[in-house]
Amino acid sequence: MPTYNKYHQTSLSLYGLSKQTFPHAQYEVILVDDASSDNTPNILKEADVPFKFKYIRMKKNKGRSSVRNIGINHAEGDLLIFLDGEMLAPPAFIENHYKHHVHESNLVVTGAMHYEGVYTFIMPDYNEDQMAHLKELVGRDPEYRRSYENYEQTKWHSNVPYPLVTKEDIDTNRFQRLSFPNRYFLNSGLKHFGERLEGFTLPYIAFLSGNVSVRKEN
């Protein structure tokens, strides 16, 4: 997982990964911090997770591709799953990736062709459209609506993310009320090739590194 100045979201991501149905002793999480200037380094002290956790911090910003490669070099497992640091993985996330690789050795599995966005925090850089969309979504749940109203009334500090989703919301799956569908722009054309993209001549465009897995030897 590469991350850059996403401390709040990454903390929730790690919590989500601690709730996996896959045996905790059989996976590790590698977080590569691309020289963040926020509180991300504190995650190493705060992380109370049941899996093996590695935190690697860059002295200089190298970019997402470079830090992913660094993560690969530190991986001990046979199967690599690439996940962005600000994503919430559902409980069966690792298990679903793993089961596809059990009987095949030369396979790339991507779950990024369709995913759901979610407003876990109100970010200082949200534009008018995002705020209008969020205001619509919080209406689905009284607690989220009250939290949003509190955000408006207290005139929250403009440079600090305002928390909406808690760890308890992840436990109960309540955060889904702030989620919305988000489809990859090529989906409409690729559906004709099936789940395995058979006959598609440019399959590598489906290698979206926010949710994809491959054996390390490949």
Q: How many domains does the chain have?
A: 2
Predicted confidence (pLDDT) per residue in 113-159, tens digit: 667 889 999 998 899 999 999 999 999 899 999 999 999 888 776 67
Instruction: Supply the mean pLDDT for the chain.
Output: 87
Kindly give, in sequence order, each residue whose CB lies less than 8 Å from that of residue 121, ignoring residues fewer than 6 positions away. Answer: 8, 9, 161, 162, 163, 164, 165
Residue 190 lies inside a defined structural domain of this protein: no
* Biggest alpha carbon–alpha carbon distance for the chain: 56
Same domain? For 139 and 33 the reply is no
Domain hosting residue 144, numbered range: 117-182
On whether both 30 and 81 belong to a single domain, the answer is yes
What sign results for the dihedral spanned by CA atoms 183, 13, 208, 198?
negative
Structure tokens given for 17: 């990964």
Residues 19 and 96 in one domain: yes
- Cα separation, 44 vs 150, whole angstroms: 31
Asked whether residue 202 is domain-assigned, the answer is: no
Contact 51, 18 (CB under 8 A): yes
69 and 122 housed in the same domain: no
d(CA 68, CA 85): 11
CATH of the domain at 69: 3.90.550.10
Residue 189 lies in a domain: no
Instruction: Tell me what pLDDT residue 147 has.
Output: 95
pLDDT digit string, tens, across residues 161-190: 899 999 999 999 999 999 988 655 455 556
13 lies in some domain? yes
* 57 and 164 together in one domain: no
pLDDT value at residue 185: 46
Rounded mean pLDDT, 98-124:
85
Identify the pLDDT of residue 146: 95
Based on the fold, state whether residues 84 and 125 are members of the same structural domain: no
| Domain match, 74 and 130 both | no
Residues 36 and 98 in one domain: yes
Q: Is 32 domain-assigned?
A: yes
Let me know whether 97 and 124 are in one domain: no
Check whether residue 100 and residue 132 sit in a common domain.
no
pLDDT of residue 44: 87
Judge if 93 and 10 occupy the same domain. Answer: yes
Evaluate whether residue 200 is within a structural domain: no
* Dihedral-angle region of residue 63 (phi above 0 means left; psi in -120 to 50 means alpha; beta otherwise): left
Q: Residue 68 and residue 75: Cα distance in Å, rounded?
A: 11
In whole angstroms, what separates CA 183 from the centre of its chain?
15
Strands (E), the chain: 2-3, 28-33, 52-57, 79-83, 108-110, 114-118, 121-122, 162-163, 179-183, 211-215
- Give yes or no: residues 13 and 70 share one domain: yes
The answer to whether residue 194 is domain-embedded is no
Identify whether 196 is part of a domain.
Answer: no
